[in-house]
Structure 1
Amino acid sequence: MHSPRQRPPVTGTRTALDRAESALIGQYGDLTRLAYLTLPVSLGRHRRVLLAHGIVQRALPGVRGRLPAPRRPDADGDGAGAPVPEARRLRRHVVRAALARERRPRGWPAALPPPGTLLPGLPLVWGLRLFPAAGGAEDMALGRLLATAPAEARAAFLLLRLDGLPVAEVREVLTGAGVRDPEGALRAADELGSAVGEQAERLLRSREFDACFVQTRPTDLLRRRRRLWCAWGTLAALVGFLALWALPGPGQDPSPAGAGTDARAGVPVPGPRQLTRTPADVWADTSRVDFTAWPARGDRVDDDGLLSRALSVWARPPRSVRPAVAPDTPAEPPTRSPQLLYAGDVEGRAVVLFHDVQRIVRYSEPLTSGTPSLAIARADDADVTTAAAVVVARGRGTVRFLTAPWIAGAETRDLLRPDSPARRLRVAPDGVTGTVPAPAARTACDSVPVLQLRSSARIVEKHAFLLSDLGGLSPVHLTYTPLPGTGTGAPPSRQPRESTGAPALVAWARLGCGLREVRGSGVRAVNVWDFAAQDLPEHGGRSVWSCVRASTWRGPGDVVVRWRTPDASAPARVVARARSTAACSRFGQHVVAGTRWRAGSGHWYVLAAGSRAVSRIEVAGDVTESRAGRTLAVRTPEKSRTRVTVSGVLTNGDKLMEIGRDG
């Protein structure tokens, strides 16, 4: 029979471990100080603190249940001798581990541990910097002196002057720690002690060198943010690279759900977790009240599948999807992480809205089966009104909007009926409105429904404005500039007024049907500027000249000059047009225009009017006339085809040609 293998008694091992732990805890502060001051100064105080604690904590032996018994070398150097006391074994371990940080090959990165050493373990700190408390001038001088000495000399100096060990024992610790020249280390330690003097022990026990008495500060927050974004970017690039291997081969129809990069440019498609999401209360505490202040709303903002499909179709539309791109809008895929505005179900479709600094993108897919759709429109330099609502869904003759978080009230009204009161519009908690009648695009113009929204008092007091759906993603802001000299009137060098007052509603009632002319043309705002009023000959009543400017998102706009007769039931007459012009804006404040009119008696007249800076009006052609003032009415021959040219002279002497003509 074989005898069973003898094992060391469990109780003996447990007792030895307890003794080792007691020794470690009792000397923890001194051992940590020894490790901290022996470690290379180039590591920085934060890393030295963490490494010092890690070295000491890993000095506890018996990690596998067996306690090694280090032995004191005998005179012959064969390593067989009496057991080494626990305190000495701990010092030897700490010195050996700290000196190992000095032994790295040339060119080895300082951020990595030397070859053959373990990777850093506990403790780990994220987001904080740890360092001992600052001492006085003497402490700092000692710290600089220690930094100039070799690591072996620092260890020997600490063991001699701080722990009070005899020279022979220090030599033994250095030898056991692997120091090749312990005598040289002792001589350097002696020179170091002579330079410091008798106060060495007092200074070494100060907080400047105590790795157990630390202060905390945050890391570089901006650098940490940049590194986090770089990490996300690297991860996204890796995902995009891996997705390239999964792209379908030639002849296969790409699937939007599996798209990982843009096939046209090779740009990685942002993932759902990379989307920018604005906190819900930012809009009330920012001076930039636009789409960037919109929070992510809707009951599917966490639906990664829906968001992935939306991003993929935007980056690489399949053959079955033809994106609806507004005029002058780039259709390129997202080049950065866009902002999520909305994700939810509306009108039987799943809808996702994105914003990427200069564009609004709406993705829509049927809840059952069908083809998704994609719409892209410009939205750069939006403000509290032009970023107040987005078309989230269209039905048969109806439209639903997603209102901005700063909208406190919503109503609808008919622009052609200024005397009719506005009707309250229901708005869901997520900002989606009830159905609103869409303006007719081709049938008779007997109604022009518009939105009347009111901003929250948290950003502006009593601010209401009108928006009209003209077929784009963002409804068009309707404004009004009244006649000069009416008390509130001003040329367009000042900001136009909102169209919610009685004079504005009366003016828009005669001009509202003209909005369909700019439908789908990428218009941002339409302003009506009543630049002149004129009393008609033969007691014909009072007429008003208006310049209607439709400004696009890119800047230029189209201008139509309309003339309103005293007959409130008659539509305004178009007398001039100009395209891609600055006229009738703050950069084109002067205008003159003319038309022909037949009085009740049957007589024909040439009528002309100019803006406030016009001092004289001249008519040339079949009729020649020049008259001081801002309006002119001259009788023409009794024929309907009189040809004339109208011009004006400004108060500074400059000549102004009739709008719509080259001059």
Structure 2
Amino acid sequence: MPLHPSPLRILGHGARPGVKEAEAALVEHYPRLVRLAYLTLPPSLGRHRRVLAAHAAVQRALHGDARPLSGSGAEGVPAPRSGDSPGDGPHTAAYAGVRLRVVRISLAYGRRPRWWPGRVPAPSALRPSVPVVRGLRLFPRAGGMDEFALDRALADVPAPVRAALGLRLLESLSDDGTRALLAEAGVGDPAASVRAAAHVAGNDHDRVRRMLRSDEFDPCTVQTRPSDLLRRRHRVRAGAAALVLLAVSGGGLALSADAGTGGSRSPFPASRVTVPGGALDPAALLRTAPGQWADTSRVDFSAWPPRGGRTDDRKLLERALGSWAGPPADATVTTTPGTAVVPPAQPPRLLFAGELGGEAVVLFHDGGVRVVRYAEPLSGKGSPALDFARVDDADVTTAAALAVSRTAASARYLLAPWVAESTTRDLLAPDMPARALGVDGDGITASVPRPEEGGGCLSWPVMQLRSSERIVEKHAFLVTDLGDIAPVHLTHTPKPGAGAPARQPREATGPEALTGWARTACSLEGLRHSGVRAVNNWQFAEQPLPGTRSRADWVCTRADTWSGPGRVLVQFAEPATSPTARAEVVSDRRNTALCSRFGQHVVAGVHWRSPTGSWYVLAAGSRAVKRIEVAGSVRGGADGPTLAVRAPRGSSFRVDAELRDGGTMSSAG
């Protein structure tokens, strides 16, 4: 592997004072400088060239003045940390100067001349020059889905913003120090770059900092793969043929003609994607044995056997895999939030290949994170479609079905091999019995009505499935269609009992659960196409209504997504003449742990009008709430988990609660 870095300037007796210190600082902190350069460089270079360019940018940082920032010196250089920081030693100022030059060189890659290619010529001293690596492709080790999503987000922002993010989070510079460094590096509006970097990082700087320090952004710890061997072989043969032709003709015209007619052209289309490890070879697809689901402790998509009438159709599987690796220009591609649209890193598992609804459909599982659906029209007219869905850590319920075919009004599902019984029911008709659902020999259901989008929420169809007794006895559960490939698992947590321990979520198939979902099912409308994995209805409090003999339920409806963040609706369900009367949404919180095992306490309040016309502020909390108080234009307090205070209509208030363990919390809305 010939690796030829750009030569460093020879340091002789006339070298500028401080150059040796700069070289020492560069060598000592080489990995962190290369990481900063890699982050700043444009992702359009590709990972291989970006790795090489990052090393080149750092190595070229001694080509010129390696002085620190004017005025501020080494401001913001972090304190010693596990031997990875310049600290306050003799190399601190030199490190700051080297860092400035690394940033300046990395930013120059975005100002390259058109023939490089690029847009604006950079100074000759800053022109890109990368090490030469023949026969190998280098790229950092893959991180997780969050790191991949961050890399995709960074690809959409300018280089100065990426540099600002690295200086703030990796180098721990202050906003002022970052702006000063970017200004010296030639950035036109450094303040705007710092603001944009803060927007990218959001409120969780520590999380983004951890991701930037992961393997995904480490060009010093790389993986290697061979380059396109067939293309290299073709080019060698073409080069040899060109030399022979040149020798025979005795001139350059024949050589020019050979090159112009494709002597170095790849035998594959330009859009063809090369994926290592045979991941796109239909013969390498993983296929689970039909009965393995009953003899494994991992009951998820990895236990699904391949089904359908075209599982041996190599050409169909080739088209599906090729489209996954490089979607055609006319393909319709959809993804659930947080799902990576990248080629498979290894041969995926085949779940289904068959014909349905006028389409040839293929379903793949990539081994842990994603399910991919490919569909092409059987008529040959029309465009293919690709759907990517995140399904990591799926289980008996969340890996129970996948949508194979879908129209505006209905869908057909491929059921897991452990589903022994399938029925349908309407959440808005809790007293109606479930209806049988037909399933063919491949595990494909008959058409299941879908909840109407944008309608009046007159019904909410769900599937009620029962697992085989070889998995678990008498285990029935509900799933519903929210527009993604995998349907959403619905559960229920009963209201607290007097003196009973805290309840845990359970399947929503009992009378109490179905009655509760009848009041809150229409709130699922706002969760469509958002990558929801499961939704739980937690009846966290029951409150007597003043002036009546009735009681109202407080419900926390929590939607958990496959990518992690949750959304919470706190709902107030007062007695109603209709069993399907909608509960009132009191609070809508996003990206919160509320009402999960990591946020087990909740308190909320609402304005309520009694049958006599009097207005109240009602508040209620979960079982750990010891006392509730309201403040604002309404004041009052009460011991226990509920409170009712007379209050004018529309009055402003805030609810605070004291917990039994001495903690406090405020209302969810």
Same fold by TM (over 0.5)? yes
Instruction: Please point out which of 482, 485, 490 is paired with 2:494.
Output: 482
**Conserved 8 A contact 2:277-2:347:** no
Which residue of the partner structure matches residue 19 of structure 1? none
Alignment of 1:629 with 2:640, yes or no, is yes
d(CA) in 1 for partners of 2:628 and 2:644?
10
List per-residue Cα deviations over 1:424-465 (Å, max 9, x = no partner): 000111110000111111111001000000000001000000
User: How many positions carry a matched residue from both structures?
Assistant: 415
Which residue does 1:572 correspond to in 2?
583
Q: Go from structure 1 to structure 2 and tell me whether the alpha carbon gap of 1:241 and 1:471 turns closer, same or farther (over 3 Å shift).
A: farther
Q: Distance in 1 between matches of 2:399 and 2:539?
A: 26
Structure 1 pair 371/614, CA: closer, same or farther in 2 (3 Å)?
Answer: same
Alignment of 1:535-574 (within 5 A): 535-539=544-548, 541-569=550-578, 570-574=581-585
Query: Is the 2:225–2:276 Cα contact (8 Å) retained in structure 1?
Result: no
Native 8 Å contact 1:551 1:557 kept in 2: yes
8 A contact 1:244–1:261 mirrored in 2: no
Displacement of 1:263 in angstroms is 3.4
- The TM-score, its normalising length taken from structure 2, stands at 0.59
1:501 corresponds to which residue? Answer: 510
User: Match of 1:578, as an amino acid?
Assistant: R
**Counterpart in the other structure of 1:530:** 539
Whole-angstrom CA distance in 2 between matches of 1:605 and 1:450: 37
What is the distance in 1 between the residues matched to 2:455 and 2:622?
35
Aligned residues of 2:467 and 2:475 also touching (Cα < 8 A): yes
Q: Write the deviation string for residues 38-69 of structure 1: whole angstroms up to 9, x where unpaired.
A: xxxxxxxxxxxxxxxxxxxxxxxxxxxxxxxx
TM-score (norm 1): 0.60
- Please give the alpha-carbon distance, in whole angstroms, between the structure 2 residues aligned to 1:629 and 1:486: 13
Relative to structure 1, the CA distance from residue 277 to residue 241 in structure 2 (aligned partners, 3 Å threshold; closer, same or farther) is farther
Measured in 1, the distance between the counterparts of 2:585 and 2:286 equals 47
Residue 490 of structure 1: how far off its partner (Å): 3.1
User: Do 1:465 and 1:499's aligned partners in 2 also have CA atoms closer than 8 Å?
Assistant: yes
Displacement after TM superposition at 1:265 (Å): 7.5
Rate the CA distance shift 1:235–1:274 in 2: closer, same or farther, 3 A.
farther
1:614 to 606, 617, 625: 625
Q: 1: CA distance between counterparts of 2:639 and 2:499?
A: 24
Q: 1:644 to 1:515 in 2, by over 3 A?
A: same
Q: How far is 1:552 from its partner? A: 0.4
Structure 1 position 489, deviation (Å): 7.5
Q: 1:550 to 1:242 in 2, by over 3 A?
A: farther
Q: C-alpha separation between the residues in 2 aligned to 1:338 and 1:269?
A: 7
Q: 1:322 deviation in Å?
A: 3.1
- Pairing 1:353–2:363 present: yes
Q: How far is the alpha carbon of 1:487 from its aligned partner? A: 9.2
Structure-2 separation of matches of 1:285 and 1:296: 17
Are residue 452 (structure 1) and residue 480 (structure 2) matched? no
Q: Cα distance, 1:235 vs. partner?
A: 12
User: How far does the alpha carbon of each residue in 1:166-207 deviate from its partner, in whole angstroms, 9 at most, with x for none?
Assistant: xxxxxxxxxxxxxxxxxxxxxxxxxxxxxxxxxxxxxxxxxx
Which deviates more from structure 2 when the two are superposed, residues 352-361 or residues 567-576? 567-576
Q: Look up the SS of the partner of 2:513 in the other structure.
A: helix
Could you tell me how far apart the structure 2 residues matched to 1:286 and 1:298 are? Answer: 23
Residue type of the alignment partner of 2:420? A
- Superposed CA deviations along residues 599-655 of structure 1, whole A, max 9, x for unmatched, are 111110000000000000010011111211000001113xx2100000100001111
1:394-473 to 2 correspondence within 5 Å?
394-473=406-485
User: In 2, are the aligned partners of 1:413 and 1:421 still within 8 Å (CA)?
Assistant: yes
SS at match of 1:647: strand
User: Gaps (5+ residues) in structure 1?
Assistant: 1-232, 251-256
Secondary structure at 2:533's aligned position in 1?
A: strand
Contact 2:278/2:346 (<8 A) preserved: no
Note closer, same or farther for the CA distance 1:479–1:299 as it changes in structure 2 (3 Å cut).
same
Give the Cα separation in 2 of the matches to 1:474 and 1:434: 17
Establish whether residue 317 from structure 1 lines up as the match of residue 317 from structure 2: no
Amino acid at match of 1:417: A
Report whether the alignment pairs 1:295 with 2:302: no
Partner of 1:648: 657
1:590 equivalent in alignment to 2:596:
no
Residue 668 of structure 2 is matched in structure 1 by 659
- Residues in 1 aligned to 2:447 and 2:349: alpha-carbon distance in whole angstroms: 26
Is contact 1:525-1:551 (8 Å) kept?
A: yes
Q: Structure 1 residues 642 and 334 mapped into 2: Cα distance closer, same or farther (>3 Å)?
A: same
Q: What residue in structure 1 maps to residue 374 of structure 2?
A: 363
Q: Which residue of 2 aligns with 1:184?
A: none
Shift of 1:244: 11
Taking the aligned partners of 1:546 and 1:389, their CA distance within structure 2 comes to: 28
Letter in 2 for 1:307: L
CA change 1:236–1:292 in 2 (3 A) is: farther
1:29 corresponds in structure 2 to none
Q: Which amino acid is 1:293 matched to?
A: A
d(CA) in 1 for partners of 2:344 and 2:337? 18
1:532–1:546: 8 Å Cα contact kept in structure 2?
Answer: yes
Alpha carbons of 1:265 and 1:626: their partners in 2 closer, same or farther (altered >3 Å)? same
Change (3 A) 1:636 1:282: same
8 Å CA contact 2:284–2:347 kept in 1: the answer is yes
Q: How does 1:247-396 map to 2 (within 5 A)?
A: 263=273, 270-356=280-366, 357-369=368-380, 370-396=382-408
Residues 293-351 of structure 1: per-residue CA shift (max 9 Å, x gap): 00111111000000000000000011101310110111111111000000001111100
* Mapped contact 1:482–1:489 kept (Cα < 8 A): no
Amino acid at match of 2:361: V
Assess, with a 3 A threshold, how the Cα gap between structure 1 residues 629 and 657 changes in structure 2: closer, same or farther: same
Q: Distance in 1 between matches of 2:226 and 2:420?
A: 41
Task: Name the aligned partner's letter for residue 635 of structure 1.
Answer: R
CA–CA distance in 1 between the matches of 2:508 and 2:229?
52
The 8 Å contact of residues 261 and 268 in structure 1, kept in 2 or not, is answered as: no
Question: Is contact 2:306-2:351 (8 Å) kept?
Answer: yes
Q: Which residue of the partner structure matches residue 601 of structure 1? A: 612
Percent identity over the alignment is: 53
Q: 1:331 to 1:347 in 2, by over 3 A?
A: same
SS in 2 for 1:323: strand
- Note if contact 2:629-2:637 (Cα within 8 Å) is conserved in structure 1: yes
3-state SS of the aligned residue for 2:319? helix
SS for the counterpart of 2:497 is: coil
User: In the aligned structure 2, how far is the partner of 1:244 from the partner of 1:318?
Assistant: 26
Please name the residue that 2:36 is paired with: none
Cα pair 1:297 1:341 within 8 Å, conserved: yes
